[in-house]
Amino acid sequence: MKDFNDNNRCFVCGPANPNGLKLSFQNNEEKDRVEAEICFPAHLQGWGNVVHGGLVSTVLDEIMIKAAHAKKFKCVTGEITVKFKKPTFTEKKYFVSGKVTEARSRLVMTEATITDEEGNITARSSGKLFTVS
């Protein structure tokens, strides 16, 4: 596939995906980050009331892509590393934040976190993204 275009059906942010999370991202230029708020619905749990780790990873991946896009890079994920610090619970508000840490040639390095309302990081990620034309 040569062409990567947005058809608004992304599971995380697509407004045309009836089953998606429909996250809205804000570019915080002052902090040089992209941010979003999320409350994971109960049907995305793994263990009782705990968000499935794959969904936590998905949201971290998406905000790293959005951070690269805010810097005018159109990217796909090449590698993502996620460290789970604490459980992320369903039906509770969290803050997601991502930033570009380095960009060279076709490689864009990123970081992201999910933080609870008390400021505790529940998950942290780093990513290697590749630019696409």
Q: Per-residue pLDDT tens for 84-117?
A: 999 999 999 999 999 999 999 999 999 999 999 9
Say what percent of the chain tops pLDDT 70. Answer: 98
CATH node for 26-131: 3.10.129.10
Instruction: Give Cα separations from 4 to 14, 64, 132 (angstroms).
Output: 15, 17, 8
Q: What is the mean pLDDT of the chain?
A: 94
- In whole angstroms, give the CA distance from residue 66 to residue 95: 15
pTM, entire model: 0.94
Query: What confidence tens digit (pLDDT) does each residue in 31-52 have?
Result: 999 999 999 999 999 999 999 9
Residue 4 reports pLDDT greater than 80: no
The H-assigned helical ranges of the chain are 53-70
pLDDT at res. 2? 59
Q: Domain locations in the chain?
A: 26-131
